[in-house]
Amino acid sequence: MPRAIWSGSISFGLVNIPVKLFTALSRKTVRFNQIDRKSGTRIRQKRVAGEDGHEVPSEDLAKGYEYTKGQYVIVDEDELAALDPEALRTIDIEEFVDLAEIDPLFYDNAYYLAPERAAKPYTLLARAMDNAGKVAIARFVMRSKQYLAAIRPKDGVLVLSTMVYADEITPTSEIPELEEAAAVEISEKELAMAEQLIETLEADFEHDRFHDTYREDLLALIDRKVAGEEILAPAVATPTAEKVVDLMAALEASVAEAKGARERHPSAGQGEGQEAPGQAQVRLTGT
């Protein structure tokens, strides 16, 4: 059963709603340890000084900031503590905005907000926000760090997403390839064909249809190795340069392939407006 990682209250106006914070994500990454092939034991890392390689005990460790190459200024724990934001145990709502106004690029981690002895005001806030189509922008402190967050209703539940700050987003102007793309000229015919391809592949998003097939294959491989099966790795093909094709021809072929895949699918006769899952994947190359 998930455990609350933070407790406090939502505060807006003169209203306070006691809540608990639960992580909404469970990462499924397969993690590896470094192993000594000869002994089969795990490799342990030691903290050593960069100058002479001697091991440094934990009591001699300090936090340092590299202000110039090879030069550090040490910041003590009490100096850091003096800068910690005051942990008021409140999620202070500052404003309500439309969801469409928030670029998904700003979202970080997701959490569930659950009521703590205050189900009615919690439900009231969730329902009022849902009816108004609004998202709350708030600030709160957790583990000595101040967060910017968006709170939105989802199926009667309040979901809190921490957000990155504007100055943490890399400006597109720092990526020359994006500026080059902005200068490319597109003909009306190419645009119309691309829009037709998008329309052909249009479907209702069903998150459950998508799986981390790499992780599934990796776990299957691990199970086979644990069972003692000898694995013969296939030869890795040498990548070859893809043939550059005419963009318009690629678009036309892609539309035809997508239409054919839809017609061949068993659910093609489901009726107008219902899209078949597993439609053709399309990759475009061109100049």
Taking the domains of the chain in order of start, what are their residue ranges? Answer: 6-27+84-168, 185-203+243-287
Which positions ≥6 away from 270 have C-beta within 8 Å? 276
CB 114 within 8 A of CB 126: no
Three-state secondary structure along 53-103? CCECCHHHCCEEEEEECCEEEEECHHHHHHHCCCCCCEEEEEEEEEHHHCC
What is the pLDDT, as a whole number, of residue 286? 46
Q: Is the pLDDT of residue 116 over 70?
A: yes
Q: Is the pLDDT of residue 272 over 60?
A: no
Kindly report, residue by residue over 145-178, the tens digit of the pLDDT.
889 999 999 999 999 999 999 998 888 888 888 8
Whether this prediction's pTM lies above 0.75 is answered by no
Residue 35 has what DSSP assignment?
B
Kindly report, residue by residue over 8-60, the tens digit of the pLDDT.
888 877 778 889 888 887 777 788 888 888 888 988 888 888 888 888 888 88
Please report which helix (H) or strand (E) contains residue 119, including its range.
helix 119-132
| CATH topology assigned to domain 6-27+84-168 | Ku70; Chain: A; Domain 2 (2.40.290)
Backbone φ, ψ for residue 187 (5° rounding): -80, 160
Q: What tokens does 97 get?
A: 């905005």
Q: State how far the alpha carbon of 239 is from the alpha carbons of 242, 246, 285, in Å.
A: 9, 21, 16
CA atoms within 13 A on the CB side of 190: 12
What is the pLDDT confidence band of residue 277, given thresholds at 50, 70 and 90? very low
DSSP SS3 for 218? helix
Euclidean distance between CA atoms 122 and 115, whole angstroms: 6
Q: Is the pLDDT of residue 126 over 80?
A: yes
Average pLDDT score, the chain? 82
Q: What average pLDDT score do residues 222-230 get? A: 84
Q: Is the pLDDT of residue 273 over 60?
A: no
Kindly report, residue by residue over 25-39, the tens digit of the pLDDT.
777 778 888 888 888
What is the pLDDT, as a whole number, of residue 148? 94
